[in-house]
Chain A
Amino acid sequence: MSAAPIAPSEIIDPNYYQQNGYPYKYWDELRKNAPIAYCEHKNLVPFYAVTRYQDIIDVSKQPMLFENAPLLVLQPQSAAEGQEMRLRTLLNMDPPDHRTYRKLMSKYFTKNRLNASQTTLDDVANKILDKIEDKGDIDFVTEVSMTLPLAVIAELLGLPADDRDQFFKWTNEVIGSLDPDFAREDGTEGTELAMKALEEVFEYCTKFVEDRRKSPKDDLTSVLANAKVEGNYLEPLELLSYMFLLIAAGNETTRNATTGGMLALLEHPEQMDIALKNPDVLNSAVEEMVRWTSPVIHFCRTPNKDVKLHGVDISAGEHLVLFYPSANRDENIFTDPYRFDVLRDPNPQLGFGIGEHLCLGAHLARLELRAVFRGLFNRIEHVELKGDPSRLKSSLIGGIKHLPMQMNLAAA
């Protein structure tokens, strides 16, 4: 038996997130009094909650000791037999494999390389805003936030722009499989839905992999389809998982940071005012949106040796859950962490994680957010919230499904 204090199960209960948003008051208490706390909830495996900024860094610094492969996320469906077996992505690999597979893509996601696409991104963003310029009442999620990341990832992978709605649906069905809103008309839901959607994604991507092996193009699907590790093509499972990871991670999280960023601005009109009057604040505003929204709620790490953290004994094979939004409210790191401040500097936020598994698309996400908010800051004439945001039933991703608002924009 471990002597760890007990964490309230709200911090991992998808229903709590759907009804209330993030459980900040519980995390605050844990950071203060129980930085490593034991938690059990329904059919999830028991785990230790890690809520302090510095502890998340210390764990992330040791990828050889704290592994991803044993367990990636705490979701009922991932605990279900079979599901984890069906994906092999960077997220559930450890070094040395992780480094080998990450290198296949990382050179396409460097700051220097991506910066060249800023102008294109601005054009795409302005076209999206042109469509809603005179509309007035909109759903910000489906008409603004979801559109740019989907367009960009389709373009990078060389997949048809017309299939974007399908990527959106598949991503929602896998990531949001617990949410009744994403159940199919035939009643397919939960784990079964996630598996079905994955099967369809794999079938879809297989066609493009075959095509790009025959006739490579200048896109990331061609890179992956023709990549070799130790002289061999990637196994189909690895290759298709990689594509799914890029599609899903490339749209879900940025979509939610965009929506959450807009919501934060609407809830802090004085900050909106600063941003509209000083376009120079764009970069720090975007960084603050990532800190404020922290769209990824948790990932797990599992030590392969017995360890002691803050006096709590953790055995090899037991699970740690790193809560990134909690780290981003850590009062030891951020002055006045509950103030949304578009001028915040420094802002060493952990929304993209850190270390070995730092978000591969972190810089792309920044550029996408900057493109959308550059367009918005330049063109907003009037904005107003028109209802409550509807939140995703998930303790993995802090999703907003709809954000009804009124928005009037100037011409570009």
Chain B
Amino acid sequence: MKIKVDRDLCESNELCVSSCPQVFKMDENDELVVLIENPDESLRHDLIAAVNICPRLALSIED
């Protein structure tokens, strides 16, 4: 599974970071960083939560 961020949409609302801190973090410039591009299947539940909570609908999962 692969995590995709639509950079045209992401505005650093940080909600994905709360849902799945293993995969997302904010850098010092307030930009979203994806720490693991192909995360392990065990993180799927948290990643789906992150995708669903993004108020800009900027995240998606590709299998």
Contact = CB atoms under 8 A, between A and B. Distances in A.
A112 B57 contact: no
Among A61, A113, A352, A356, find the residue whose CB has the most chain B CB atoms closer than 10 A: A356
B20 interface: no
Contact of B53 (A95, A112, A348): A348
A91 to B, nearest CB: 16
Contact of B56 (A57, A111, A348, A355): A355
A111 B13 contact: yes
A110 B55 contact: no
Contacts of A60: 57
Contact of A356 (B9, B12, B13, B52): B9
A106 B11 contact: yes
Contacts of A111: 12-14
A363 B13 contact: yes
A61 B55 CA distance: 11
B8 interface: yes
Given A99-B8, A363-B13, A113 B55 contact: no
Contacts of A355: 9, 55-57
Nearest to A350: B55
A107 B30 CA distance: 9
A358 B55 contact: yes
A128 interface: no
Interface string A102-126: 0000110111110000000000000
B55 A352 contact: yes
B30 A113 contact: yes
Nearest to B53: A348
Interface string A348-377: 100010111010001100000000000000
Contacts of A109: 11
Contacts of B8: 95, 99
Majority DSSP secondary structure for residues of B touching A: loop
Given A355-B56, A362-B55, A112 B9 contact: no
Given A355-B9, A356-B57, 15 more contacts: A60-B57, A107-B30, A109-B11, A110-B12, A110-B13, A110-B30, A111-B14, A112-B14, A113-B30, A348-B53, A355-B56, A356-B9, A358-B11, A362-B55, A363-B13
A149 B34 CA distance: 35
Interface string A329-360: 00000000000000000001000101110100
Interface string B3-41: 000001101111000000000001000100000000000
Contact of A354 (B11, B12, B26, B55): B55
A10 B26 CA distance: 46
B55 A112 contact: no
A362 B52 CA distance: 18
Given A99-B8, A363-B13, A112 B56 contact: no
A61 B57 contact: yes
B26 A112 contact: yes
Contacts of B12: 110-112
21 contacts: A60-B57, A61-B57, A109-B11, A110-B11, A110-B13, A111-B12, A111-B14, A112-B14, A112-B26, A112-B30, A113-B30, A348-B52, A352-B55, A354-B55, A354-B56, A354-B57, A355-B55, A355-B57, A356-B9, A356-B57, A358-B56
B28 to A, nearest CB: 10
A348 B11 CA distance: 18
A35 B53 CA distance: 23
Nearest to A107: B30
Contacts of A61: 57
A362 B55 CA distance: 10
Nearest to A57: B57
Contacts of B57: 57, 60-61, 354-356
Nearest to B58: A355
A356 B40 CA distance: 29
A354 B53 CA distance: 10
A325 B50 CA distance: 24
A114 B11 CA distance: 13
A112 B30 CA distance: 7
A144 B34 CA distance: 42
Nearest to B11: A106
A293 to B, nearest CB: 18
Interface in A24-65: 57, 60-61
